[in-house]
Homo-oligomer: A and B are copies of this chain.
Amino acid sequence: MPERISDAEHVVMEVLWDESPLTAQEVVERVPEDRAWSANTVKTLLGRLLAKEAVAHEEDGRRYRYRPLVAREDYVVGESQRLIDRLFGGSLTPLVAHLARRDQLSSREIEEIESLLKELKQ
């Protein structure tokens, strides 16, 4: 059972999911600018992710290269399910209904979802 990944840690995970393995320095460089984190902050987060066994590191000379242990897919599904359980009694339909009604769905999106569903029915 992997421990929960916090918001800040998630940002680091996204970097590693996008490309890995990376050194701490490389992660620092790839963190979105709007975060404006110091290198130390990123290293702290990497350390915590190591402790949570969400990433692993392998030695590479005198540095480490980090790579994810948790699949993005699993994280994403887990978080989504958590939200849906908490807010919609576990069913996806009301979420779609909510967002759709709030005009969050363009007709392009509607069609995308429709064709997705058509595939699934087969």
Q: How many copies of the shown chain assemble into the complex? A: 2
When distances are taken between beta carbons in the complex, the residues of chain B under 8 Å from A77 are 98-99, 102, 104
| Contact, CB under 8 Å: B73 / A98 | yes
A76 to chain B, nearest CB (A): 5
A121 at the interface (CB under 8 A from B): yes
Tell me the count of chain A residues lying within 8 A, CB to CB, of chain B: 36
| Contact, CB under 8 Å: A80 / B73 | no
A71 at the interface (CB under 8 A from B): no
CA distance A117 to B93 in the complex (A): 11
A17 to chain B, nearest CB (A): 11
CA distance A122 to B6 in the complex (A): 41
CA distance A120 to B121 in the complex (A): 21
| Contact, CB under 8 Å: A100 / B86 | no
